[in-house]
């Protein structure tokens, strides 16, 4: 069993539970991994937390790729998407193309009806929007695809993907250069750990860490969610990553994005960042016996 903040109750559940659920993509990927026939190990469980397969992209990126390849000015972007394995890895260009184009596409689809004041709030609430938009793309047609500001033209989904890709190109070229092959996801999709004493400027860079290239997205188990109005800086990701082997009472496999101390300038404030970003396995001593045996220092709080 597992949960990814998705809807876990059946459609016929008789009582109101909530109307605010995460899209199902992350859970679908977890289910896909867990249903494989091979025996699962603690190392498998550790790797699942860093899995970058984007199930939503697997469904929609081929449709986007086909649309973009119909136009000379977006053909290369479409070809890159066509060759993609749908993993949001930081060293790949396809995730940057897909994520940027999909965001622009969503804005184009709804902005003409909703207007400037509402659109950003709407798009920032992906929990409400995400799966519905995907259903529209898979269907291939919707009244929302027509741009009401051009009454003499009836736009198709392909038209909207093309317009979105041109806007994506306009966004990415100043940041990453003219060659779409070099639009690496990790160059724009970054994680920055800030210190509350100084969040910006020189002091912020000294006390904090980053920005650091990061894989994943809002649709992957290795979560790297960003806000629509401030792409593509990671605002939501897993904090504690932990796997517990119930046969080993001395230690647990765990890592946090920082260190075990919150005290500024402590040597243990940032000593787990490298492992957190790289995925290296880390262990915390758990039993009192193991902690006493391996302790290097002890903090005593006296009232």
**Residue 190 belongs to what H/E stretch?**
strand 190-193
What is the distance between the alpha carbons of residues 78 and 150, in angstroms, rounded to a whole number? 26
Q: How confident is the prediction for the chain on average, in pLDDT? A: 93
87 bridge partner residues = 53
Q: What is the DSSP pairing of strand 251-255 with strand 283-285?
A: antiparallel
Above 70 in pLDDT, residue 1? no
**Residue 226 belongs to what H/E stretch?**
strand 225-226
Q: Write the pLDDT tens digit of every residue in 38-55.
A: 889 999 999 999 999 999
Q: Write the pLDDT tens digit of every residue in 211-247.
A: 999 999 999 999 999 998 889 999 999 889 999 999 9
Q: Write the pLDDT tens digit of every residue in 264-301.
A: 888 889 999 999 999 999 999 999 999 999 998 888 99
What is the distance between the alpha carbons of residues 84 and 129, in angstroms, rounded to a whole number? 25
Longest alpha-carbon distance in the chain:
78
Place of tokens 């930081």: 90
Residue 163, burial from CB neighbour count under 10 angstroms (0-12, 13-18, 19+): middle
What is the distance between the alpha carbons of residues 16 and 90, in angstroms, rounded to a whole number? 40
Cite the beta strand spans of 34-129 per DSSP E. none
- Over residues 154-164, the mean pLDDT reads 97
Above 90 in pLDDT, residue 22? no
pTM of the entire predicted model: 0.92
């Amino acid at each position: 069993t597992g949960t990814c903040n998705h809807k876990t109750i059946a459609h016929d559940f008789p009582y109101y539970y909530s109307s605010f659920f995460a899209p199902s993509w992350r859970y679908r990927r977890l289910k896909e991994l867990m249903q494989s026939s091979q025996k699962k190990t603690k190392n498998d469980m550790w790797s699942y937390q860093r899995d970058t397969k984007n199930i939503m992209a697997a469904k929609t990126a081929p449709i986007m790729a086909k649309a973009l390849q119909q136009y000379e000015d977006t053909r290369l972007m479409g070809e890159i998407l066509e060759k993609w394995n749908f993993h949001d890895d930081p060293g790949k260009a396809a995730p940057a193309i897909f994520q940027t184009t999909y965001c622009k596409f969503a804005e184009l689809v709804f902005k003409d009806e909703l207007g400037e004041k509402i659109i950003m709030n709407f798009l920032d609430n992906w929990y409400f929007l995400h799966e519905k938009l995907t259903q529209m793309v898979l269907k291939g047609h919707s009244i929302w695809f027509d741009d009401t500001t051009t009454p003499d033209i009836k736009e198709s989904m392909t038209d909207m993907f093309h317009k979105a890709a041109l806007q994506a190109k306009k966004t990415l070229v100043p940041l990453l250069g003219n060659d779409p092959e070099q639009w690496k996801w990790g160059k724009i999709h970054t994680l920055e750990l800030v210190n509350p004493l100084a969040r910006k400027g020189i002091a912020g860079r000294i006390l904090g860490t980053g920005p650091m290239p990061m894989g994943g997205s809002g649709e992957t188990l290795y979560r790297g969610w960003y806000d629509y109005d401030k792409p593509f800086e990671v605002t939501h990701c897993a904090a504690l990553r932990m796997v517990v082997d119930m046969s080993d009472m001395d230690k647990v496999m765990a890592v946090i994005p920082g260190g075990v101390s919150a005290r500024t300038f402590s040597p243990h404030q940032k000593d787990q960042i490298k492992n957190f970003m790289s995925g290296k396995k880390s262990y915390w001593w758990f039993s009192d016996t193991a902690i006493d045996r391996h302790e290097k220092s002890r903090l005593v709080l006296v009232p």
